[in-house]
Amino acid sequence: MADNFREFRADNSSKETTTGGKRKKGNNVSGKIVILPIIIILAALLSYESVYSIGEQEQGVVTTFGKAGNVVTSGLHFKIPFVQKVTKVNTTILGFPIGYRASENEAEEQSSVAEESLMITSDFNFVNVDFYVEYKVSDPIKYLYNSHEPSAILKNISQACIRNIISNYNVDDVITTGKSEIQAAIKEMITQKLEQQDIGLMLVNISMQDAEPPTQEVIEAFKAVETAKQGKETALNNANKYRNEKLPEATAQADQVVQEAEAAKQERINEATAQQVRFEKMYEEYIKNPLVTKQRMFYEAMEEVLPEVELIIDDGSGTLNKTLYLDELQLEDITN
């Protein structure tokens, strides 16, 4: 009986040993199956954290342990996972309105913001002026770390500069003729302020959208003034056009009159010179033979004054004795 009990315990011990060995081997296999996906996931996560891309209209600021390093441009880049961090910055031209708020629906009108648009001019008149500011990021590192809200700073600077410049102009210049000059002065002042603040933003443009008095009656009066000024400009343009059309014509006529006068003058001078030469030659002949020269001059004068005239000599008897022509008379005188 005792021997049978020992054999039974030995058999159970061998079975327990065999079962324990199989259980240990199964635990190793299941452990490997669990660890492998974790390793794959970690590798994928590391790969994902190592590679990043920057768009064409972006720039990236790389920080290592929170310290800003270099700036990267568009393309595919690599970084050290969990050590380096990349912050993307939009480098396109952005903008914001001053004095109004644009509606999301284009059919709806824009809403005015009185505390931003209402300003006072140098002649102590109130005026509502709307502006639109366009800017872009010039230095991503300064944009991210030199200030908390650089866009809000730019808006405050713009409002201060606008009010400063508007206060130097009278209401007529603000509403009608001085818009270009005002915009240029405001842009220059904002640019100087941004350089002093050094927040990584650059002003691209600022444009005056609208300028009008705060009341409807004054608006109508200014519109009438603007219409009158436009009428004045139209009249001046028409007058200048008429002058430009008539002035060349008058100048041409004047030149023609002057040329004709010069031609007549030269003709008279030539004629007088010829007469002088003729007189001098006739005088030379007259000195040689005064009587013959006188007769010839007389006949020549008569030929010019009475061409083809018949000469009738009347002796008083009432009958025509003879009809002579000047040429015949001249021949007779010459023969005599």
User: Which segment of 57-66, 178-187, 221-230, 261-270 scores lowest on mean pLDDT?
Assistant: 221-230
pLDDT score of 38 = 72
Q: Tell whether 35 is covered by a domain.
A: no
Model confidence over 2-53: pLDDT tens digits?
A: 444 444 444 544 444 444 444 444 455 555 566 766 776 666 666 666 788 8
Q: Is 281 in the same domain as 302?
A: no
Domain termination residue (choose one: 90, 115, 148):
90
Q: Clarify whether residues 85 and 100 are in a common domain.
A: no
List beta partners, residue 323: 312
* 302: exposed, middle or buried (Cβ count in 10 Å: 0-12, 13-18, 19+): middle
**Mean local confidence (pLDDT), 218-239:** 81
DSSP structure string for 261-282: HHHHHHHHHHHHHHHHHHHHHH
In the listed set 181, 214, 247, which residue is the last one of a domain according to the structure?
214
- CA dihedral 39→43→45→50, nearest 10 degrees, is 160
- Give domain status of residue 300, yes or no: yes
Domain contains 36: no
Higher pLDDT, 94 or 33: 94
Number of domains in the chain: 4
Asked if 75 and 128 sit in the same domain, the reply is: no
**Residue 157 confidence (pLDDT) above 80:** yes
pLDDT at 321: 52
Looking at the fold, whether 272 and 294 belong to one and the same domain comes out as: no
Rounded Cα distance between 296 and 282, Å, is: 10
Alpha-carbon gap, residue 180 to 125, rounded angstroms: 20
Please tell me the predicted confidence (pLDDT) of residue 5.
41
Note whether residue 4 is domain-resident.
no
The reply to whether 75 and 126 lie within a common domain is: no
On whether the pTM is more than 0.75, the answer is: no
Let me know whether 86 and 110 are in one domain: no
pLDDT in tens, 239-294: 998 888 888 888 888 888 999 999 999 989 998 898 888 888 877 877 887 887 77
pLDDT of 334 reads 43
Judged by DSSP in three states, 200 sits in coil
Q: Which sign, positive or negative, has the C-alpha torsion 213, 217, 220, 225?
A: negative
Residues 294 and 281 in one domain: no
User: Is residue 14 included in any domain, yes or no?
Assistant: no
Closest listed residue to residue 186, CA positions, set 98, 282, 88: 98
- Once rounded to an integer, what is the mean pLDDT over residues 62-83? 84
Question: Please, what is the average pLDDT of the chain?
Answer: 79
| 86 and 173 assigned to the same domain | no
147's tokens: 């200030």
Together in a domain, 230 and 190: no
Retrieve residue 263's tokens.
Answer: 């031609």
Across 123-135, average pLDDT: 91
Residue 173: left if φ>0, alpha if ψ -120 to 50, beta else—which one?
A: alpha
- Domain membership flag for residue 205: yes
* Residue 20 within any structural domain of the chain: no
pLDDT at 188: 95
Highest mean pLDDT among 37-41, 227-231, 294-298: 227-231
76 Ramachandran zone, left/alpha/beta (phi>0; psi -120 to 50): beta
User: What percent of the chain clears pLDDT 90, i.e. is strictly above it?
Assistant: 26
Residue-number span of the structural domain to which 83 is assigned: 52-90
Q: Are residues 64 and 116 in the same domain?
A: no
Chain segment 301-325, per-residue pLDDT in tens: 777 776 666 666 555 666 655 555 5
Average pLDDT (119-138) is 91
